[in-house]
Chain A
Amino acid sequence: MTKPAATSRKKYQLRLFIAGATQRSMNAIQNVRHLCEEQFSGHYQLEIIDIYQQPARACAEQIIVTPTLVKQAPLPVRRFIGDLSDTARVLGGMRHESH
C-alpha cells in the first residue's frame, strides 16, 4: 500500500478502527483508501484495526466510536468519527494545521 515518500511533504500516519465486516466498516475503508490515494498518494501509511480482533487497542487508543479514523501524524492528532462519507470534512480536518 505504502510507497516511499517521493516528496518532502510530511507522511500521514492513519489508523482506521472498525468493528467487524459490516457495511459501514466497508464504506469507511473504501472512503479512506480512495481519499488517501487521491490526496496523499505515496506519502501515507494506513493501518486498519478491527476492534473485535484487537479489543485492547480500542482501550489503548481511547476509541469509543466506530468507525474512527485517527490521524496520528502530522500533528495535531485528529479523530474522524463516522464512515468518512463527508469527504470535505475529512479533508478539511486532515489539512488543518498540517504544514
Chain B
Amino acid sequence: MAIQKRQGLSTLVSLSKSPMGISGLDKITGGGLPMGRPTLVCGGPGCGKTMLALEFLVRGAEQYDEPGVFMAFEESELELQQNAASLGFDLAELVARNRLNIDYVHIERSEIEETGEYDLEALFVRLGYAIEAVKAKRVVLDTVEVLFAGLPNQGILRAELQRLFRWLKDRGMTSIVTAERGNGSLTRHGLEEYVSDCVILLDHRVADQISTRRLRIVKYRGSVHGTNEYPFLIDNNGVSVVPITSLELQHAVSTERVSTGLPRLDEMLGGQGYYRGSSVLITGTAGTGKTSLAAHFVDAACRRGERCLYFAFEESPQQIARNMRSIGLNLEPKFKKGLLHIEAARPTAFGLETHLAMMHKLVNSFKPQIVVVDPITNLIAVGEKLEVDSMLVRLIDFLKSELITTLFLHLISSHEQMNLAQAGISSLADTWISLRAWESDAEVVNDLRVLKSRGLPHSNRIRVYTFTERGLSLSASDLTGAAPSAAQPDPAQTPNGKKRAGVGKHQRTL
C-alpha cells in the first residue's frame, strides 16, 4: 500500500479505487473509495450520509456498470425513493432494471425475546441474496447501528458486525457503512474500530443562522488524500464537493489577452486588455459604474462568442439588463443565445462556503470563459475575515485553474479608498482598476486608473470617463497627480455626438 510518489492529490497509488461519480469527492480521495473495501461515512443527523451513500450506488449503477445493494435499516424502500427523487434519482427505475437492490431491514424491538445463542447469519444471507440478484459490486449499509438498539446482546452484535465487514471485504464489495456521530468519538458505537480503511466525516454546521455542509476525509489507509474540510452541497443534482485548495500555485497561465470591451482601457493595459485567466478587481464608490464596466467586458466577450457567467448579489437579472440598456448595452440577445447567464442570489441566503460551492458547481456546468462577481462586497459581509480570505483564495485558484477571466466588483466607501490592501483582496487580484467620483464645481467627475496590473505595461495615468447612451466613454488624454482634474473629452469617444458639457472646462493641459 505504499505511496509511490507524492504529486499533490493526483498521486499514483498501488491501491485500486472505485470512483464515486460525485464531483469533487473523487478528486480529494484521489480517485474514489478503496475498491473492494468498506468505507465508513459518519456524521450527525441530517448531515447527508444517506444521500451520499445513495449517490454512490446510483452513479455506480449508471456510470461505472457496478450495480449496488442498499440495505436500509432506517428508511423503507418507498421513503428512500422519495428522498432520492429530490436529488433527481429514479430508484424505482434502477430497481426495475436490476441495477439496484433495496432491502429494508426492519427490527421491532418490542417483539423480540432473547432465548439463547444466535448469530446474524440471516442478515448475511439476505445481503448475499440481494448481491447475487443484481450481481452487485457496491453495497451500502445505512445505518447498521440501528441493530444496537434492536438486539439485546451487544457482545454478539459486535463480533457479528466485525464478521460482516470482513465478509464484505472477502466478496470484494466496495461498500459504504454509515454511522451516527458519537460524543467525542467518530461514531456512537465505535464502528471506526472495524471499518478503518477509509473514514469520511460529514458535518452540518450553523453559524449566524446560516448553514454550511462540510466534508472531511479523516482517514484513508494507503492513500494520499486531501485533509481539509471541504464544503459540499446537496441539491437536485445530487452531492457536489468543492475540492478547491490552495495547496499549489501551479495553474497554467495564458499569454492570450482579452479585450475589456473598451478600446481606451485596453490601451491603458498595454494595448490588448486583461490576460486570459487573470483576476481583475474593480473598486469604486457607489454609482461609479462598476457594473457598467463589467457589462462592457461581458458584452465584448459575448460578441466573440465566449460564455459569461454573472453572479449578481445585489440586483436581479432583469434589473441589470434594463440598466445596461440605458447605457446602450443590450444583453437580451446574449441571454437568448445562452452565452450569458446571470445568477442572482442574496448574499445572506447561504454561508460563504455554500456560495462557494454553488459558484463552483455553476462554473462547472456552464463552463464560462468569463465570470463576474457583482459585488464581492456583500459576500465579504457574510463571513469573518479569515474565512473570506480563504474563500476568495479558493475561488480565484479554481477560476484560474480553469483559465477563466474573472471580474470582482467591490463597493467601497470613499474613505477606505486606499485601504484595500488590508482586506487581502488586492493581493489576489492581478489587475486592479479603481473608479472614483469627485465633485468639481457643480458636477461630479468620474475617473479611472489602473492601480496595478501584473505582467502588463499598464498606464499610470488617470482618465476621466462619462456615461453615454453608448456606454462608458473614456477620455483619450491622461491626467496625472492626485488632484481632482479632468481631461478634454475626445469626440471620437462620443460617437453619438453628445457633448459632455462641463467636463471639458476642468481640463488641465498636460
Name the contact of A17 in the complex, choosing from B114, B116, B122 (C-beta under 8 A): B122
> A85 in the interface, Cβ–Cβ < 8 Å?
yes
> A46 in the interface, Cβ–Cβ < 8 Å?
no
Q: Are B113 and A78 in contact (CB under 8 A)?
A: yes
> B1 in the interface, Cβ–Cβ < 8 Å?
no
A58 CB to nearest B CB, Å: 5
Name the contact of A19 in the complex, choosing from B107, B115, B121, B147 (C-beta under 8 A): B121
> B79 in the interface, Cβ–Cβ < 8 Å?
no
Q: Are B116 and A19 in contact (CB under 8 A)?
A: no
CB-CB under 8 A from A31, the residues of chain B are: 116
- Secondary structure type dominating chain B contacts: mixed
| Docked CA distance A84–B130 (Å) | 28
Q: Are B117 and A82 in contact (CB under 8 A)?
A: yes
Chain B, 244-291, CB within 8 A of any chain A CB = none
Name the contact of B116 in the complex, choosing from A20, A64, A83, A92 (C-beta under 8 A): A83
| Docked CA distance A4–B112 (Å) | 29
CB-CB under 8 A from A62, the residues of chain B are: 105-108
Pick from A7-15, A37-45, A48-56 the stretch touching chain B: A48-56
Q: Are A64 and B126 in contact (CB under 8 A)?
A: yes
User: Which partner residue on chain A sits nearest B117 by CB separation?
Assistant: A83
Query: How many residues of chain B get a CB closer than 8 Å to chain A's CBs?
Result: 25
> B111 in the interface, Cβ–Cβ < 8 Å?
yes
Chain A, 3-35, CB within 8 A of any chain B CB = 17, 19-20, 24, 27-28, 31
Name the contact of B113 in the complex, choosing from A51, A59, A80 (C-beta under 8 A): A80
CB-CB under 8 A from B121, the residues of chain A are: 19-20, 51, 65-66
Q: Are A66 and B122 in contact (CB under 8 A)?
A: yes
Q: Are A81 and B126 in contact (CB under 8 A)?
A: no
A55 CB to nearest B CB, Å: 4
A20 CB to nearest B CB, Å: 8
CB-CB under 8 A from A66, the residues of chain B are: 118-119, 121-122
Interface residues, chain B, with chain A CB atoms under 8 Å away = 103, 105-108, 111-123, 125-126, 128-130, 147, 151
CB-CB under 8 A from A68, the residues of chain B are: 118, 122
Q: Besides A68-B122, A78-B113, 8 other CB < 8 A contacts?
A: A19-B119, A27-B116, A28-B116, A65-B121, A68-B118, A81-B115, A81-B151, A93-B113
- Secondary structure type dominating chain A contacts: mixed
Q: Are A51 and B125 in contact (CB under 8 A)?
A: yes
CB-CB under 8 A from A81, the residues of chain B are: 112-115, 118, 151
A9 CB to nearest B CB, Å: 21
| Docked CA distance A53–B234 (Å) | 42
User: Which partner residue on chain A sits nearest B151 by CB separation?
Assistant: A65
Q: Are B112 and A79 in contact (CB under 8 A)?
A: yes
CB-CB under 8 A from B103, the residues of chain A are: 59
B127 CB to nearest A CB, Å: 10
User: Which partner residue on chain B sits nearest A69 by CB separation?
Assistant: B115
| Docked CA distance A69–B126 (Å) | 17
| Docked CA distance A84–B129 (Å) | 26
| Docked CA distance A58–B276 (Å) | 63
12 A–B contact pairs at CB < 8 A? A51-B121, A56-B129, A77-B111, A78-B111, A79-B113, A80-B113, A81-B113, A82-B114, A82-B115, A83-B118, A86-B115, A92-B113
Most chain B CB inside 10 Å of its own CB: which residue of A27, A67, A89: A67
